[in-house]
Amino acid sequence: MPELTQVLEFLDNTGSIMVKRVPEMGPTEIKWGSQLTVRDSQEAIFFRDGQVVDVFSAGRYMLETRNFPLITKWVTSFAYGPNSPFRAEVYFTNKKLFTNLKWGTQEPILFADKDLKMVRLRAFGNYTIQIADSRTFINQIVGTMGLYQDTDIADYLKNIIVSRLTGVIGRQAQSVTELPAVYDTMSANTKIALQSDFENLGLSLHDLYIASISVPEEVQQMIDQRSGMSALGNMDEFMKYKMAMSIQDAANNPNGLASQTVGSGVGLGMGFMMPQMIQQTMAPAVQAVAPAADQKSPVEKLKDLKGLLDMGIITQAEFDQKKTQLLSLI
């Protein structure tokens, strides 16, 4: 004869159990006068022959006729007396928040980037759920399992999240470089898109966050290279500057390899090209300075020449010749 159950309660020390059947192995004899304790974060559902008999919210109950009219009616309908034991099973649902659940893409998501064309993305994040409808969750998900944990449903929920996220990414951004700026918006839109899916399972999706969206290593290298080129600014001016510096280094080191290269045919070609390139580079600056120089008085120009003489840029003879010309204008 099965042992009579006199205390019905459930405590979760792991924080991961969503549903627990008491007893876990199946229906048992429950005695009238037994105690049922349901905590604030729980609901207790009585089952008989696979059907829900009654649902109890938080509180402490004594299994008596006046406290359980639905169960009493069911017991007496099976010819049990009001003080007789009855055979049933109780499912405790844990209605607390199940936090920091992880989701991620097992397979890359194809994303049409406006610059890089088709790119494979991987996304990761976390979410928080809660049992909103105990009956629906047990009937749709748990079934006859005696113990059901959050890890048991994790893979199924991951697939739903990724499927909805794929559509949100395509509508939210046109380039992978735009994605980090819209993480919050994508998280909110993905949560909205998932609400009906979770409600159909008896669940409530409280939070969903996107932690990162990454691209393959080779694509990341392309992005880094493009960023480096943008940081250089005008590539034409940059190359002219680099060539000028190379020739200067060769002049400072006549015995080096660079000097030998300049002396070769390649260096000769560069030598012919450099005056024109430097002239093109410096021409805008000369043209910009020329009008300002024409506006200076002869005395100011003379002061400028004296500064050039002191720095050794011009000779004394050049200074004297220019000085005579300027003095004639005063």
pLDDT tens-digit map of 226-243: 665 555 555 565 566 556
- pLDDT band for position 3 (cuts 50, 70, 90): very low
Distances (CA, A) of 238 to 8, 233, 258: 80, 8, 19
Q: Is residue 136's pLDDT more than 90?
A: yes
Read off the pLDDT of each residue in 45-54 and give the average, rounded to a whole number: 82
146 backbone dihedrals φ, ψ, rounded to 5°: -80, -20
Confidence (pLDDT) at 268: 46
Asked if residue 86 lies in contact with residue 30, where contact means CB atoms within 8 angstroms, the answer is yes
Read off the pLDDT of each residue in 69-93 and give the average, rounded to a whole number: 62
Asked if residue 104 lies in contact with residue 159, where contact means CB atoms within 8 angstroms, the answer is no
Burial of 229 (0-12, 13-18, 19+ CB in 10 A): exposed
- pLDDT band for position 18 (cuts 50, 70, 90): very high
- pLDDT band for position 279 (cuts 50, 70, 90): low
Q: CA-to-CA distance for 44 and 10, rounded, in angstroms?
A: 10
Q: CA-to-CA distance for 129 and 102, rounded, in angstroms?
A: 11
**155: enclosing H helix or E strand:** helix 150-172
Instruction: Label the pairing between strands 17-22 and 28-38.
Output: unpaired
Contacts of 166 (CB under 8 A, 6+ apart): 109
Q: CA-to-CA distance for 28 and 177, rounded, in angstroms?
A: 60
Confidence (pLDDT) at 237: 59
Pick the closest to residue 103 from 207, 199, 195 (CA basis): 207
For the ranges 83-87, 146-150, 269-273, the lowest mean pLDDT is seen at: 269-273
Residue predicted with more confidence, 316 or 31 = 316
Asked if the peptide bond before residue 180 counts as cis, ω within 30 degrees of 0, the response is no
Asked if residue 43 lies in contact with residue 55, where contact means CB atoms within 8 angstroms, the answer is yes
- pLDDT band for position 71 (cuts 50, 70, 90): low
- pLDDT band for position 119 (cuts 50, 70, 90): confident
| pLDDT one-digit tens code per residue, 247-277 | 666 666 666 554 555 455 444 444 545 555 5
Q: CA-to-CA distance for 150 and 134, rounded, in angstroms?
A: 15
**Distance linking the first and last C-alpha atoms of the chain:** 130
Pick the closest to residue 181 from 170, 172, 193, 171 (CA basis): 172
Pick the closest to residue 250 from 264, 237, 235, 236 (CA basis): 264
Task: Kindly state the DSSP code that residue 23 receives in the 8-state scheme.
Answer: S
Residue predicted with more confidence, 116 or 197 = 197
Q: CA-to-CA distance for 228 and 238, rounded, in angstroms?
A: 13
Read off the pLDDT of each residue in 31-48 and give the average, rounded to a whole number: 86
Q: Is residue 172's pLDDT more than 60?
A: yes
Q: Is residue 78's pLDDT more than 60?
A: no
- Return the ∠ at Cα 155 (arms to 182 and 191), rounded to 5°: 30
Q: CA-to-CA distance for 143 and 136, rounded, in angstroms?
A: 10
Q: Quick one: CA dihedral 78, 27, 138, 206, positive or negative?
A: positive
Confidence (pLDDT) at 141: 93
Pick the closest to residue 12 from 198, 148, 137 (CA basis): 148
- Return mean pLDDT, the chain: 77
Distances (CA, A) of 207 to 41, 166, 190: 19, 18, 10
Q: CA-to-CA distance for 197 and 202, rounded, in angstroms?
A: 9
Confidence (pLDDT) at 286: 46
Read off the pLDDT of each residue in 67-82 and give the average, rounded to a whole number: 51
| CB neighbour burial string for 125-163, b if at least 16 within 10 angstroms, e if fewer | bebebbbbbbeebbeebbeeeeebbbebbeeebbebbbe
Q: Is residue 153's pLDDT more than 80?
A: yes
For the ranges 184-193, 207-216, 235-244, 321-330, the lowest mean pLDDT is seen at: 235-244
| pLDDT one-digit tens code per residue, 283-328 | 554 454 445 445 677 778 878 778 777 777 778 877 888 888 777 7
